Amino acid sequence: MTEHDHALQMIEEPLLLFGHDQRLPDPKDGLFLFGPMIDEGKPAEMRVGVIGTRQGIARYKLWVSKITGYIPAARAEQHHLAFPGFEAAFKTRWPLMPVAAIELSGPSLSSTVRISDAHERVYKTVDLFDRAIRKFLREEDSVPAVWFVVIPDEVHRFCRPKSTIPTPERTATTERLSAKMAKGFLRAPSLFAEDNIATEPYRYEVDFHNQLKARLLDQKVVLQIVRESTLDPEGVNAENGQQRLLQDPANVAWNLSTTAFFKAGGRPWALAGVREDVCYIGLVFKKTDADGAPGNACCGAQMFLGSGDGVVFKGAVGPWYSPTTLEFHLDEAKAKEIAGLVVEAYTDRHGCPPKELFIHAKQNFSDAEWQGFSSAVGPETTLVGVRIQTTREIKLYRRTRSPVLRGTALAISRRKGYLWTVGFIPDLQTYPGREAPNPLSVEITRGEGDLTQVMRDVLGLTKLNFNACIYGDGIPVTLRFADDVGEILTAAPIEDLPPLPFKHYI
């Protein structure tokens, strides 16, 4: 290993592209000064549907009335920026009245979220929202671009995987099977049809958020699930007598407005100076125990472009997980199928296959897996496999009181290096952390590529998280939401799901 192998360098902070072709590194500054990208997807006004209890709908309207105006920053530091108002930031109107409003019965919802059996509780709670939205879509011609699902905080409290209901509050289950019997019938169906019907809730994940999104994927519905206390913290805290810790109102407005604008079809920003004909894939795996097979998992892929556009491809459930190595790997045929879907989608969109295709994963690629990926691309495409992991293998310190700068990169060989995607940010004069930052381990494990360029790409992809309005994320978007996407893909027994834009999953 030569001296050059341990070269320390600074990767310049990637710039973002905003309205009027203006470039800045900070998304809040860019939106504040220039507004979002102007393209055919930008909505003239927000077409929002809202579903919730009467109180939830009222709290949605209250929050919209607030974000139409100026919201001051909570503190005077440089990284705390006032929210200028939705139309001022995004050049799009957000009407106070939604294009659709579905009111659910508060007492019925409150009773349902207290059903003693967890699977039945979550399934029937989701049913209230799922059925109402489907009914609206069948009967109405005007379809919202995005639905705000406003849930009472008790839905969040009682409809998650480890939720429990206090004994005095429990509603008796109405199902005729015990949980143990129902799960047994999933593996070996009963001779009685009514038993098999009663097992239906056990085919779904015990998580309201993931299950509702999964069950409405077939309708291509875009959802923003939000708690009432997020929209009206003072009102909910006064009712419950409990204080929920939240970001300040300006930050909530920045983050929720950004993701809502993105889900409504807009592009808040894009990476500036993007290399042409480059495509990035993030692999998705999630174990599933619906059929009782210990090694079965669902696979998928997320395709991202420098513009921020993303598409999710769902693969089949198969024996992709090894309990011995604790790793996920595709066989050659499935790897070829997944990569082929991505290349086909890219070609349909751009008229030609990508010149470079980077596959990001959290682990190494097996020989069979890589052979499958390789056979899916033509000679005109350079294929590179990159393993990206958060690591504590190394700590880097400066001689000043502030921590290592974001963008610091240390190459330890021609194919492996460390990249600090979190660290002190000179533009904001702050470090958003409490301890010495840990880097990402970035290693080219298959194919040939320039390590500095790979790390530059990774740093750029940390700025494409449209689920918030932040300077930069610690993880590239190719892997940032991999677990979340996997959770939704396995939250319901979804079959024959077409590729869908990334906004359906966040």
pLDDT, residue 290, reads 60
C-alpha 351/C-alpha 235 separation (Å) is 53
Residue 442, both tokens: 């970035």
Tell me: the pLDDT tens digits for 136-187? Answer: 999 998 899 999 999 999 999 999 999 999 989 888 776 666 666 666 656 6
Q: Fill in the amino acid letter for 32.
A: F
Walk me through the domains of the chain, giving residue ranges and CATH numbers: 39-263 (3.40.50.2300), 270-385+444-504 (3.30.420.10)
Q: What DSSP assignment string belongs to 117-184?
A: SHHHHHHHHHHHHHHHHHHHHHH-S---SEEEEEE-HHHHHHSSTT----GGGPBPP--SS-HHHHHH
Specify the pLDDT at position 416: 97
Burial 445-473 (b: 16+ CB within 10 A, else e): bbbebebeebbbbbbbbbbbbbbebbbbb
> Who's near 168: CB < 8 A, 6+ residues apart?
none
pLDDT at 185: 57
What are the tokens at 292? 């009782």
C-alpha–C-alpha distance, residues 55 and 42, integer Å = 31
Query: CB of 52 within 8 A of CB of 60?
Result: yes
Handedness of CA 445, 448, 332, 278 (dihedral sign): positive
Closest to 394 (Cα-Cα) out of 376, 418, 372, 426? 418
- Print pLDDT tens along the chain (506 aa): 344 457 799 999 999 999 999 999 999 999 999 999 988 889 999 999 999 999 999 999 999 999 999 999 987 666 679 999 999 999 999 999 999 999 999 999 999 999 999 999 999 999 999 999 999 999 998 899 999 999 999 999 999 999 999 989 888 776 666 666 666 656 666 656 665 667 788 889 999 999 999 999 999 999 999 999 999 998 887 677 677 778 899 999 999 999 999 999 999 999 998 888 999 999 999 888 665 566 788 899 999 987 778 999 988 788 998 888 888 999 999 999 999 999 999 999 999 999 999 999 999 999 999 999 999 999 999 999 999 999 999 998 888 888 999 999 999 999 999 999 999 999 988 888 888 999 999 999 999 999 999 999 999 999 999 999 999 999 999 999 988 999 999 999 887 788 899 999 98
Q: How many helices (H) and strands (E) would you count in the chain?
A: 17, 19
- Phi, psi angle pair for 17, to nearest 5°: -105, 130
* pLDDT for residue 192: 60
Q: What's the Cα-to-Cα distance from 398 to each of 7, 9, 64, 126, 473, rounded to whole Å?
A: 16, 14, 45, 51, 22
